[in-house]
């Protein structure tokens, strides 16, 4: 992973039927290269789509992958829902140096979007990776406590089981130092960002489908992790889908078979990506990934066996470089 990072304090809001969606950024910067992040997407595809990728998503000079870590705040039926909680402050993250002992003004950014921790009713973790569960908790006098003291935390049961260190013995032995570091990292993430929520009694573990309200439904979207999920929004004639890490880069629209290097089940990840993007294209749903800088989200359309951008969301551009 290479260095440069910056924190930003921008918020942007969309109206989708009766629901509003606000982007709150925790971190943006360069992580690895696009070639490393999405290894099965050939370089020619980046060249072919240079105009759509530069400058927001790709730096062609060194192939840098430009990344945002952000939360989507949904206001629906009088409630406040936070989708994914970023990487969090103050954590030991030896497996991801740019996020080790991070110190960002995320809660100030959230306040600028009009949300205090006690205002949050529901937290959605699309999956249990470090950059989606971080602000589940905060450090309080040496103890990890829920950041959102009134919220119900919706955590996919499959990921809760899969990443629980108590179930480590169910997996094959680590084969390399990188494997060992990743597993140690997972243990730390579970201990500081998941276990305290389970212990607080604020977690609701769900499987397959979970309805949040009349407009919002979580559905399993496995592959990236076994418990990965997508949150579908339907209000009036508007549709949207929060896809978490099903997409890391727009190159995966043009090469939907191409997984990120963090996708745990390659076959299932591809199937899920094609299925969810096809439904989003058919219903003109706005697709909101977790890590897109730039306009942050887009409507997509079919183009043979791949997808194209129909239009970007009317959000302010976030420049990650
Ligand atoms: Zn992620």
Task: For residue 319, report the distance from its CA to the centre of ligand 1, in Å.
Answer: 18
When pLDDT is averaged across residues 311-319 and rounded to a whole number, the result is 94
- Minimal CA–CA distance to 184: which of 93, 121, 114? 93
Taking CA 216 as the corner, what is the angle to CA 288 and CA 13, rounded to the nearest 5 degrees?
A: 45
Is 296 a residue whose pLDDT tops 70? yes
When pLDDT is averaged across residues 58-69 and rounded to a whole number, the result is 97
| Predicted local confidence at residue 2, as pLDDT | 39
Q: What is the pLDDT of residues 50-62, one digit of tens each?
A: 999 999 999 999 9
The overall average pLDDT reported for the chain is 94
Task: For residue 250, report the distance from its CA to the centre of ligand 1, in Å.
Answer: 15
Task: For residue 70, report the distance from its CA to the centre of ligand 1, in Å.
Answer: 9
Q: What is the CA radius of gyration of the chain?
A: 18
| Predicted local confidence at residue 11, as pLDDT | 53
**pLDDT band per the 50, 70, 90 thresholds, residue 239:** very high
Task: For residue 138, report the distance from its CA to the centre of ligand 1, in Å.
Answer: 19
What are the tokens at 115?
Answer: 């949300």
When pLDDT is averaged across residues 72-90 and rounded to a whole number, the result is 98
Task: For residue 283, report the distance from its CA to the centre of ligand 1, in Å.
Answer: 25
When pLDDT is averaged across residues 170-195 and rounded to a whole number, the result is 90
Beta-carbon contacts of residue 286 (< 8 Å; ≥ 6 apart): 14, 16, 238, 239, 240, 241, 280, 297, 298, 299, 313
| Predicted local confidence at residue 22, as pLDDT | 97
**pLDDT band per the 50, 70, 90 thresholds, residue 5:** very low
Task: For residue 129, report the distance from its CA to the centre of ligand 1, in Å.
Answer: 7
Is 188 a residue whose pLDDT tops 70? yes
- Minimal CA–CA distance to 95: which of 13, 14, 183? 183
| Predicted local confidence at residue 170, as pLDDT | 79
When pLDDT is averaged across residues 160-174 and rounded to a whole number, the result is 89
Min mean pLDDT across 5-14, 82-91, 154-163, 173-182 is at 5-14
E strands, the chain, are 5-6, 11-16, 19-33, 58-59, 64-76, 79-83, 122-124, 137-140, 143-146, 152-156, 203-206, 209-213, 216-220, 229-235, 238-244, 286-289, 298-303, 306-312
DSSP letter (8 states) at residue 2: -
| Predicted local confidence at residue 3, as pLDDT | 39
Task: For residue 211, report the distance from its CA to the centre of ligand 1, in Å.
Answer: 23
When pLDDT is averaged across residues 169-173 and rounded to a whole number, the result is 80
Task: For residue 26, report the distance from its CA to the centre of ligand 1, in Å.
Answer: 12
When pLDDT is averaged across residues 270-287 and rounded to a whole number, the result is 98
When pLDDT is averaged across residues 159-163 and rounded to a whole number, the result is 97
Task: For residue 218, report the distance from its CA to the centre of ligand 1, in Å.
Answer: 17
Is 10 a residue whose pLDDT tops 50? no
**pLDDT band per the 50, 70, 90 thresholds, residue 4:** very low
Handedness of CA 205, 209, 214, 216 (dihedral sign): positive
Task: For residue 86, report the distance from its CA to the centre of ligand 1, in Å.
Answer: 8
- Minimal CA–CA distance to 304: which of 249, 254, 252? 254
| Predicted local confidence at residue 287, as pLDDT | 98
Task: For residue 36, report the distance from its CA to the centre of ligand 1, in Å.
Answer: 15
């Amino acid at each position: 992973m290479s260095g440069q990072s910056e924190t930003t304090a921008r918020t942007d809001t969309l109206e989708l039927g009766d629901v509003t969606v606000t982007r709150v950024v925790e971190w943006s910067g360069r992580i690895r290269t696009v070639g490393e992040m999405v290894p099965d997407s050939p370089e020619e595809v980046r060249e072919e789509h240079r105009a759509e990728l530069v400058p927001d998503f790709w730096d062609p000079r060194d192939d840098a992958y430009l990344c945002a870590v952000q939360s989507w705040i949904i206001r629906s039926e009088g409630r406040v829902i936070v989708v994914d909680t970023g990487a969090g402050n103050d954590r030991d993250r030896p497996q991801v140096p740019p996020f080790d002992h991070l110190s960002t003004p995320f809660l100030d950014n959230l306040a600028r979007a009009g949300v205090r921790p006690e205002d949050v009713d529901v937290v959605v973790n699309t999956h249990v990776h470090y950059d989606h569960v971080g602000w589940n908790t905060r450090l309080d006098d040496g103890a990890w406590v829920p950041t959102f003291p009134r919220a119900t935390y919706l955590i996919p049961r499959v990921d809760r089981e899969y990443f629980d260190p108590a179930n480590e013995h169910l997996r094959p032995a680590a084969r390399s130092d990188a494997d060992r570091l990743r597993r140690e990292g997972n243990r730390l993430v579970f201990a500081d960002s998941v276990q305290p929520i389970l212990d607080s009694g604020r977690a609701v573990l769900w499987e397959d489908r979970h309805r949040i309200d009349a407009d919002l439904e979580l559905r399993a979207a496995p592959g990236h992790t076994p418990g990965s999920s997508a949150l579908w929004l339907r209000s009036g004639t508007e549709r949207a889908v929060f896809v978490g890490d099903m997409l890391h880069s727009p190159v995966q629209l043009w090469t939907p078979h191409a997984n990120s290097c963090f996708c745990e089940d390659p076959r299932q990840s591809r199937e899920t990506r094609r299925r969810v993007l096809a439904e989003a294209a058919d219903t003109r749903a706005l697709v909101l990934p977790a890590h897109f800088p730039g306009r942050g989200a887009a409507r997509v359309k079919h183009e043979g066996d791949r997808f194209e951008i129909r239009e970007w969301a009317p959000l302010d551009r976030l420049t990650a470089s």
